Structure 1
Amino acid sequence: MMDPEVLERITARRAELDGLEEQLVKQLVEVRAERDELAVAERVLQRLSEQIADEQAEAGSLVVQVAGRAARLVPDRAPGLDTGVRGKLEPLRGKLTKPADRGWLHKRPDGRFTARP
């Protein structure tokens, strides 16, 4: 003989567990969808990183996109620039004092400039 109260408790618990199962299945579907999106984002990031590395290797210096075109942040040095000649060096030093005053560069006691860390 089955006790009706026990049957009622079993039925209620089964309904509670069925509801919990539905919530967990829904959460699992959402988690799997987000994991798939992350995998796609990871692949896109990897491709972009490889593309940027290839562009930098071709350009020889750091390349960024400006108005849809590749531009170098720091141009390559021109060969034969003689910075030892005082007439060419002093105007260059004069131009570097503004960035040094703004804290972008560090002026050393010997008159040379270094990049701030």
Structure 2
Amino acid sequence: MTDAQVVGWIAARRAELDVLEDSLARQLAEVRAERDELAVAEKVWARAEAAVAGDAAPVAAGALVGGRSVLLIPHRSPGMGEDALPPEYRKIMGILRATGGPVMAKAVGEKLGIDVKSPGKVEPLRGKLSKLAERGWARKLADGRFQITL
């Protein structure tokens, strides 16, 4: 082999290794991203199990898990039961069902034992009712009342 051939072979091999390195770096990034997603899913699953078992404090409509926003109030789909909701939201759904018709957020708050004279207490409840309506669990009427969807 001549010096030019050796230099050419080295340059070609270096180019092959550069391509391989880029490919492996992309694969490693994909693996790390999937592992991060699985860690988030595992935390969400554990929280949901704890909430269903009643071992956890009520959870909000959305939360940060692993630095990512996680949807805890799922969009309602056919065959999905209210057991998919956190306990606090199941209580709200029970009140909506028991009223049998449209109800104001204050009336739901009264049944939950919330001080409805304080807007600071009613507005978070109204937000939860709105979240249930946005996700298909309830219906928000034009006059601001809420009712359960069938």
Q: State TM-score, norm by structure 1.
A: 0.47
- Higher-RCO chain (CA-CA 8 Å, sequence separation at least 6): 2
Q: State TM-score, norm by structure 2.
A: 0.37
Higher Rg of the two aligned structures: 1
